[in-house]
Every structure is written in C-alpha cells, then in structure tokens.
Structure 1
Amino acid sequence: MKPAPFTIARPAALDAAQQTLHAASHDTKIISGGQSLGPMLNLRLARPERLVDITGLPELTEIRQTATHVEIGAAVTHARIEDGEVPDPIPGMLRHVASGIAYRAVRNRGTIGGSLCHADPAADWVTAMTALGALLVVRSGSSGVREIPMSGFMLGAYRTAMEAGEFLTTVRIPRYSPRARWGYYKICRKVGEFADAIAAFVADPETRTCRVVFGSTGGAPLACRDLARHIATTGGAAPLATVKTVLRDSGLDLSEVKIHQLAVAHRRAVSGALSDV
C-alpha cells in the first residue's frame, strides 16, 4: 500500500513549527520518528493533507537536568535513552523500558514524544511515565505553553488531552531518592511484539510516593491505589487473588485471561524489585 497524497513541511526552528501548526488546517499531523504514523499512512488508516516534520528541531532533541527533574525533548529517540544518554531520575528504569521497545531499528527512529502522543494502549512509555509521575509540556500557536500531568494525558486508546494545534515539546520526570525502588514487567508472545500485559510500580519512602500502574488494558493506563497502599505498608506484592479482585473491580472490560496476565506481570514486577530490600 502507498499513502494518500500529502504535502510536508520541515520547519527549521520550534517557533516556525508552532506558527506552521497554528496556520494549518485541521487535517494536519505532526511526524517525528514515523514508526507508528508511517505504517498508518501506508495502510491509509491516516490520510492527512499535510505533515509537519519536527524530527530535526534541536529544541526537541535536548536532554536537560535540574536538581529536581530530568527533562527529555519529545524528539529524543528510544535508542538514546537505551544507550544511557538520559540522566537517571530513578536508577535504571528508563534504560530498561527503552531496551524492551520493539527492535533496535525501531528504537533508532522512534521517539518518546511520538509514542506518548500516539497513545497506543500497549505502548511502554504511557505506562512507565504514568508510574513515574511525569509532566508533559505542550505548546500551541494560540495558547502558548501548558503542562499536563501524565496521569491525565492519555484519555483512551489513541486519544490524548492535547487540543488541536498543540504539540508535545518536553517530558519532565521528577527525580527520586537513592532509596526508591521500581519494577517493570511486560508479557509478550515474543520479543519485539506489542505487550499483552504491562505492570509497573515506583516507590520512594523519602517522598512517601508509591504508584502501581497497569498497561495494555485496551485504554489509558490503570493506576491502582489499593495495590500501591499494600506495597507501601507491607513492602511486598499483594497475593495474586487480591490483584485479580482489584482488576475485576476496576470497571474495565477485561477478560479473565487478561486479568491473569496483568496480575502475574504485577507480581513479577514487584517481587523482582523488592527481593533485594
């Protein structure tokens, strides 16, 4: 298959990209690494009249750190994160997640911002960034800059809280203490395929933070306060039956097979991370 005809703009600076999007029609899409949008174009599942290529914008490929946060430009590739170019907001988690995304060829081109904005329920970053409590910085030509917590960014499958004309510029992740622990486990039929189930957790006793998140649920990541409270109070994973009950009561339309996969992923993520504590 070949895509429907479209034009493409390649602005040289972030302000120019912002102006281009503000002046463009509603049938315009941003393209960065193109690892998700490219196949959709070829299959004609997406038929934009115009693409705005932001891959080469230097402002979107920068990696910065402060005393309290690590900031990743939206066009930073999975491979750069896997290779350790991003400072650790929590030791090892970002590299671990990045290394498990698809294949190296995809990681060389795919970007963290593109993955988050595509909002595929089975994507790694939407779950990982929810567990990390990330904040997303978006810009538009009309309203300037605003910040969206990752917990409210993904509204459902392939839907986000961004408005027309807005685009993601920065992923801001809080730093965690040396005592922080994390776990991330996903179940796939084979390496490189989309996940059947994802479980993540982040716990930091110094900031009294604990988050438990499930991904690949068919919609936005599911955060479970009851299971986070269990980890915070007991220092271990809840029994498998308890995890399954929480998932059944979540209100999501999950099959028993999916519930079992998610529960097993959660147990492995938590048990593996806390076994050395």
Structure 2
Amino acid sequence: MDLNTVLDVCDARRHELWRSGDAWLGGGTDLLSTPQPQLRRLVDLSRMGWEPIQVLPDGSVEIAATCTIAQLYRFGRTLDAEAAPLFEQCCRAFLASFKIWNMATVGGNLCTALPAGPMISLTAALDGMCLLQGQDGSVRRVKSADFVTGAGRRDLSEGELLRSVTLPAHSLRCRTAFRQVSLHGLGRSGALVIGTLDPWNGALFFTITAATRRPFRFRFALPPGPAELRRAIATTVGEPDWFDDIHGLPEWRRHMVFRLAEQILQELTEDGAP
C-alpha cells in the first residue's frame, strides 16, 4: 500500500531527532499493509548491520529485531537444543507466504502486538528478554511475556526501539509441546498454547497466546492435574482478556485453550517424561 503521507525515509544509522509522525521501518510487512495517515517519516533499520542471530558464550540465543522469519526458521532447523522444534512450529503458525517470511521481522511481529503474533508466542514461552533502547541511548530490559500489554499495545515509549530478544540457555533445554488451532485450515491462529518442561526441577510452564489480548504464562512447580490446570487458567484470565474478532468468539477460544492445555499436560507428563 502507498503511504502517501510519508515525506521522507531516512537511514537509522544517522542520529536524527525523533519527532511526531516518525516510525521505525524494519521489514514493513505490517506497516505497508494498512493506511498510516499519522506518519510523515520512516526511519529505516535495514542497514544497521545487526547479526540476525547469535549464540552467546553462555548458550543463550540473541535474536536481532531485524532478523527475518526465514532466517529464524533456518536457524531453528540447525539448533542443537531440546526446544529447537518450537522455532519451526511458531514460524509455520504465520498466516503468510514465503515472500512475507523473507521480509517480516521478529521485532516487527512483537511490536505490532497482534494476539496471533507467533513470535510473541515463541519468545514468551522461552522466557525471552527484550532489550529496548531509548532515543537518549539508555537501555532497559522487559520480559517478552510482559512486553505485549494488549491487542496492538506494547511497552514502548515514544521513539523507543526494540533492539533484540534473548532466549536463555536453560529455556532452550526444556522439553516443549505446541498446540495451535484456527477456524479454517489456513486461518489466523484462534488459540495457541505452548508447554515447556524444565528438565532440572520438573517445573511445568504453559503460555497462552492468540486466544487472549496479551500473553499469559503459568508456572507449576509440579505438574498439575487437569482440574487444577483449568482452575488456574479460569481464575487468572478474566472475561475481558479473551480476544474477540472474526477469527473466533471468546467462548470458543476459551474452550479451545482448556482443551489444548490439557493435551499438552498429557504429552509432557506421559510415562518417561521427567
């Protein structure tokens, strides 16, 4: 889509004063998909030269905000970690063509903050930490599960930039289970639930996205029973928290989350699991 109110596109490597009407430009797949009448200038991040993905000395994985979905998918297929399958599963949860995969970025998916954003699901489930950089050069860190605060809302100040997301090594060693459902075979996610089982202490985590306006993450020191799991979800996720749009009614989303969570519970606590 033509953004006919944009008057200038500038290189993010040049330090310029942030002003009203500016927006960061990464892959641009969402930015250029809908009218943006408030925009006057795009600040292009494509020449920043950030390494898309780095494995750090402690075994954690740092994903640059400009890393594309295609790059993340390829990395996940070569990653020697218990949680590696989750990368491919979340990439394939996109309602997107290969052309989008090669342009859309991890940071863009997080900052768009759509409930069905699968990069939100991936990074929240693996206890990701977002690195945010302000216009004055200051930095702060926010957990990925807390970065998205609602449908289309995220914890970003004016002009603040999402620089990267780091997935800790201990999360990558977790056993995972993935469940996703849509109203149609190739439809947008109506509910997406991820379970992770800590091999060291047996703690079990459930992360709920797509069905809710923001991510919800549950920790159980010991695997719960089905009734306890349902009760924890029902008492934490309030009625206003269930998302409502053409891709699914709140009642259906709630029902599917209960069902998918119970399937994950069974998968991760079957005989032979830690």
* TM-score after normalising by structure 2: 0.83
Equivalent runs, 1:90-101 vs 2, <5 Å: 90-101=83-94
Q: Distance in 2 between matches of 1:153 and 1:272?
A: 29
Which whole-Å CA distance do the structure 2 matches of 1:57 and 1:6 have between them?
21
Instruction: Spell out the pairing of 1:18-29 with structure 2 (5 A cutoff).
Output: 19-20=15-16, 23-29=17-23
Aligned residue number for residue 260 of structure 1: 255
Structure 1 alignment gaps of length 5 or more: none
CA change 1:114–1:192 in 2 (3 A) is farther
Residue in 2 that maps onto 1:163: 157
Tell whether 2:103 aligns with 1:114. Answer: no
Distance 1:82 1:273 in 2: 24
- CA contact 1:181–1:274 (8 Å) conserved in 2: no
Task: Check conservation: 1:183, 1:272, Cα contact below 8 A.
Answer: yes
Contact 1:119–1:160 (CA<8 Å) still a contact in 2? Answer: yes
Measure the CA separation in 1 of the matches of 2:123 and 2:117. 11
Structure 2: give runs of 5+ residues left out of the alignment: 243-249
Q: 1:177 to 1:64 in 2, by over 3 A?
A: closer
Root-mean-square deviation (CA, aligned residues, Å) is 2.6
Decide whether aligned partners of structure 1 residues 46 and 211 sit closer, same or farther in structure 2, where only a CA change above 3 A counts.
farther
Q: TM-score, normalised by structure 1?
A: 0.82
* Contact 1:71 1:172 (8 Å CA) reproduced: yes
Counterparts of 1:96 and 1:25 in 2: how far apart (Å)?
Answer: 39
> CA separation of 1:203/1:36 partners in 2, compared to 1, >3 Å: closer, same or farther?
same
CA separation in 1, counterparts of 2:24 and 2:173? Answer: 39
Q: What's the CA shift for 1:167?
A: 0.5
- Name the structure where helix makes up a greater proportion of residues: 1
Confirm or deny: 8 A CA contact 2:52 2:71 kept in the other structure.
Answer: no
Shift of 1:274: 4.8
Count of matched residue pairs: 260
Contact 1:102–1:191 (Cα < 8 Å) also in 2? no
Structure 1: 4+ residue segments shifted above 6 A: none
CA contact (8 A) 1:244 1:260 kept: no
